[in-house]
Amino acid sequence: MNTFDDSAALLIVDAQYGFMPGGGLPVADGDAIVPVINRIAPLFANVVLTQDWHPVDHISFAANHPGRAPFETIALPYGEQVLWPTHCVQGTRDAALHDDLRVPQAQLIIRKGFHRDVDSYSAFMEADRRTSTGLAAYLKARGIVRLYLCGLATDYCVAWSALDARAAGFDATVIEDACRAIDLNGSLARAWADMAAAGVGRIGSAALLNT
C-alpha cells in the first residue's frame, strides 16, 4: 500500500551493474542498496529510474584519452571533467539495471550520458548545464512536487540530481542508506555540505518506513 500520495515520487539513480561490485566503475558495497530500495519502493505510487547509457567512445572515459588514467581530470569546454573507467556502455550487461530490483510500478526510465561529448551525472541536466533530460517538465506535468532520491553514487549522480531537483523547485530528500558513495578526494563530505546548503533533506529508510 502506498504511503505517499501522487505529489511524491521515488527517484532511483543508476542502480546498474556498472556501479556495483564487479562493474566497470564499482562503488563499494553498491549492491547493498537493492534490498533497501525494494523495501521502500512500495511506499510510492510514482517511481522514476535513471540509467547511465554511454557510447563506447564517450569523452569521459580515460581509455579514450591516450596517456591518461582513470580519476585524472581534464578541461573540457563545459569545465573540469573527471576521467572514469569505461562503464555502462550502451546495450551491455554493465549498463543493465540490477535484476533484483523490484519496482514494477516504475513509469519512466531516463537515460543519460548518451551524448558522446558531454558527461551527465544529474537526472535533470547534463554536465554542460544547458542540456535538459526533460525530467523536470515530466514531473511538473504529473503534479509531482516532492522527490525522494536513492541510488549510486551519493556524491555524484545522486547529489547532482538532488541539487538540480531543488534548483527546479522540487522538495528533495536523499534516503541515505539506500545510497553508496565513491568518495573521491573528499567528494562525499562536499556533496552532503552542498546538498544541506541547498535545502536537500536527509533521511534513513527506517524512518521513511515508519512515516
Write the CATH number for 130.
Answer: 3.40.50.850
- Please give the residue range of the domain that contains residue 171: 8-54+98-209
- Per-residue pLDDT at 54 exceeds 80: yes
List 112, 119, 155, 179, catalytic entry: 112
Q: State the pLDDT at residue 1.
A: 58
Mean pLDDT of the chain: 96
Residue 162 located in a structural domain = yes
Half-sphere exposure of residue 185: CA atoms within 13 angstroms, side-chain side:
4
Residue 21 located in a structural domain = yes
Closest residue by Cα to residue 19 from 108, 85, 80: 85
Beta-carbon contacts of residue 112 (< 8 Å; ≥ 6 apart) = 50, 51, 52, 53, 120, 121, 122, 123, 126, 133
Residue 145 located in a structural domain = yes
If you average pLDDT over residues 37-51, what whole number do you get?
A: 97
Q: State the pLDDT at residue 106.
A: 97
Q: State the pLDDT at residue 3.
A: 83
CA separation for the pair 111, 120 (Å, rounded): 10
The three grid cell numbers given for residue 145, joined into one nine-digit string: 512536487
Residue 140 a catalytic site member: no
List 88, 150, 157, 179, catalytic entry: 157
Residue 75 located in a structural domain = no
Quote the number of domains for the chain.
1
- Per-residue pLDDT at 2 exceeds 80: no
If you average pLDDT over residues 56-70, what whole number do you get?
A: 97
